[in-house]
Chains A and B, each alone.
Chain A
């Protein structure tokens, strides 16, 4: 499975309140409507750069804070194809896998050196991420088998609909 998108760089500790503020979470349940407010408290212009197929490249502890699953759902709806980070907060990581947003742990040096707006391609089968214009590549942390199956299916709901069972029944 390959995922591509243009690079949008963010820093450390991007919390789920920043991704989608609690103020909006209660106004509507419509994820596409909520996506209009993505990262509003961080930078209201950021949403325009996410639109149309982006890959967020963040540093440490992406998705920390509240367990709100609206966060990865809103990112997907806003046009984010994947998030690459040095590390993720655990609830966000699980939520993203469940909703079919690939969350990828990669190398710190690669993350620091990729350029804004350059096209990135992640190859989950080969376990690599490539920055084509600057010619860089790095390894990504492999998923356990059952998690890869969820990501490849596009989320746990899609997996269950196809296979009528959950992929972790034999772990």
Chain B
């Protein structure tokens, strides 16, 4: 009778069962923070007066948001993080390692059924590995870091069933944009989202992470997904043995949504709200100054590969910044010859970082500039000037738009993603 999140939170709070609406005090398996949130977490610990770490193996820091540092002020934040990590013996992934949401699972920190708390809203990404993973602020992170526990309200769950296969040049980003357009930016506030169905079962790990990543743009608290064979294989190499948590057949959902994946087409979230979703056809021809392919949403090998497929042998007309999400992905793309092809096509290939997504560095937009970005937020001023405009899109749409210097439907460059 329980949903995935009810089962995980019951176990983590030492109860036989819990129901949506209950408050629980849960044990936490992993807590992490990055250079945008860690210093405030350290300061919160000092403010509260409990500067200790409950388990050095379960607390992780990442320097990924403005990395390597673009200013002396940020260098000081990085130094303070390194000092804290050394003092408490916790692991710190330094500049160049990659984005927290990519590195954390790559390094084997994310186990199915576990409770993961990150001082970053996109922590929901780890739901792709069947974890209860949710974003918190710095003070909650500080409390979790020092006590190993955090209170939660058990969320209601919403079931989204996706059947069928994507058509050529349609990607999981288009699916998640479609759902966002349907439920809107606050449609799943406080909810746990469970994706089910034959489409989800057939997806790669990369594609599943994109879907879980954007659950927070609908207000969701978490997005725990049942494992598929691709994800089980991926996990076996990284975490050893594990046991996933499945929803009961008669679990109770507050709402259900059905999507036919075969009917989806390339979509964008037009400026300046994430739920302003339109088909690429509706905005085709809009001139583009900059394209960004990267971020915790779409900076993985599958995303780089589709960009290469579209750009190989051609030359981009818009500035095109490509940033692999982790050192591992960078290395894989380098050795597959993808980066070589992207550089030849006129792209700027960056080191692993969050980059321009959060407007910290590596390509901020000027007044009135238009960007197509594979990231997750198109809010006013997010990537630079408050008069710049951001269209969120899949890597296929982004690459095709870079090629022509205007928004175009990637299906004209099709032939299998």
Where the two chains meet, the residues of A that have a C-beta atom closer than 8 Å to any C-beta of B are 13, 15, 17-18, 21-23, 25-29, 40-42, 60-61, 64-70, 87, 89-91, 94-95, 98-99, 144, 146, 156-157, 160-161, 166, 168-169, 171
Instruction: Determine if B109 is an interface residue (Cβ-Cβ < 8 Å).
Output: no
Looking at chain A's contact residues, is the secondary structure mostly helix, strand, loop, or mixed? loop
Chain B residue numbers with a CB within 8 Å of A168 are 23, 25, 151
Please name 20 further chain A to chain B contacts, defined as beta carbons within 8 Å, in addition to the given A61-B189, A65-B121, A67-B121, sorted by A numbering. A13-B185, A18-B381, A22-B358, A22-B382, A23-B359, A23-B364, A23-B384, A25-B36, A27-B71, A28-B73, A29-B39, A69-B139, A87-B186, A91-B135, A144-B23, A156-B48, A157-B44, A157-B47, A161-B49, A166-B147
**A15 in contact with B379 given A26-B74, A90-B189, A168-B25 (CB within 8 Å):** yes
Most buried by A among B37, B44, B186: B186
Contact partners of B24 in chain A: CB under 8 A = 171
A22-B151 in contact (CB<8A): no
Partner of A69, one of B40, B190, B360: B40
Most buried by B among A13, A28, A169: A13
Which chain B residue shows the least CB distance to A92? B137
Whether B120 is near chain A, meaning CB under 8 Å from some CB there, is yes
- From B23, B48, B137, B360, A160 is in contact (CB under 8 Å) with B48
Q: Cβ of B77 < 8 Å from any Cβ of A?
A: yes
What CA separation (Å) do A4 and B372 show in the bound complex?
Answer: 44
Q: A26-B73, A168-B23 are in contact. Are A160 and B49 (CB under 8 A)?
A: yes
Q: CB distance A94 to B77 under 8 Å?
A: no
Is there contact, CB below 8 Å, between B384 and A61? no
Cα distance A25–B386 when bound, in Å?
A: 15
Do residues B186 and A60 form an inter-chain contact, with CB atoms below 8 A?
Answer: yes
- Residue B219, interface by CB 8 Å: yes
Measured CB to CB, the nearest residue on chain A to B80 is: A29
Residue of A nearest to B135 (CB): A67
A171-B384 contact, Cβ under 8 Å, with A69-B40, A89-B186: no
> Closest residue of chain B to A98, judged by CB?
B139
The 7 A-B residue pairs with the shortest CB-CB distance in the complex, in nearest-first order: A95-B137, A69-B137, A41-B381, A61-B186, A41-B386, A98-B139, A157-B47
Residue B221 lies at the interface, judged by CB distance under 8 Å to chain A: yes
Complex interface: chain B residues within 8 A of A23 (CB): 359-360, 364, 381, 384
Tell me the chain B residues, 16-51 only, with Cβ under 8 Å from chain A.
23-25, 36-37, 39-40, 43-44, 47-50
**Contact present for A89 and B48 (CB under 8 Å):** no
The CA-CA distance from A157 to B41 in the complex, in Å, is: 12
The residue that B137 contacts in the complex, of A15, A25, A61, A68, with Cβ under 8 A, is: A68
Are A67 and B151 closer than 8 Å at their CB atoms?
no
Smallest beta-carbon distance A41→chain B, Å: 4
A94 CA to B138 CA, complexed, in Å: 10
A26 touches B136 (CB 8 A): no
Q: Which residues of A contact B47 (CB under 8 A)?
A: 157
B66 at the interface (CB under 8 A from A): yes
Asked if B321 CB lies within 8 Å of chain A CBs, one says no
Question: What are 24 A-B interface contacts by the 8 Å CB criterion?
Answer: A15-B379, A18-B381, A23-B384, A26-B360, A42-B380, A61-B185, A66-B121, A67-B119, A67-B135, A68-B36, A69-B137, A69-B138, A87-B186, A91-B137, A94-B136, A94-B137, A95-B138, A95-B139, A98-B137, A161-B48, A166-B143, A166-B147, A169-B25, A171-B151
Tell me if B138 and A64 are in contact (CB < 8 A): no
What A residues does B309 contact at CB under 8 A? Answer: none
Contact B379 A65 (CB under 8 A): yes
> B300 at interface (Cβ–Cβ under 8 A)?
no
Distance from A24 Cβ to chain B, minimum over Cβ atoms (Å): 10
Instruction: Give the Cβ gap from B72 to chain A, nearest Cβ, in Å.
Output: 11
Docked Cα-Cα span, A68 to B221, in Å, equals 16
Bound-state Cα–Cα, A41 to B379, Å: 10
Contact B381 A89 (CB under 8 A): no
Say yes or no for B111: interface residue by CB 8 A criterion: no
A70 to chain B, nearest CB (A): 7
User: Do A64 and B151 touch across chains, with their CB atoms under 8 A apart?
Assistant: no
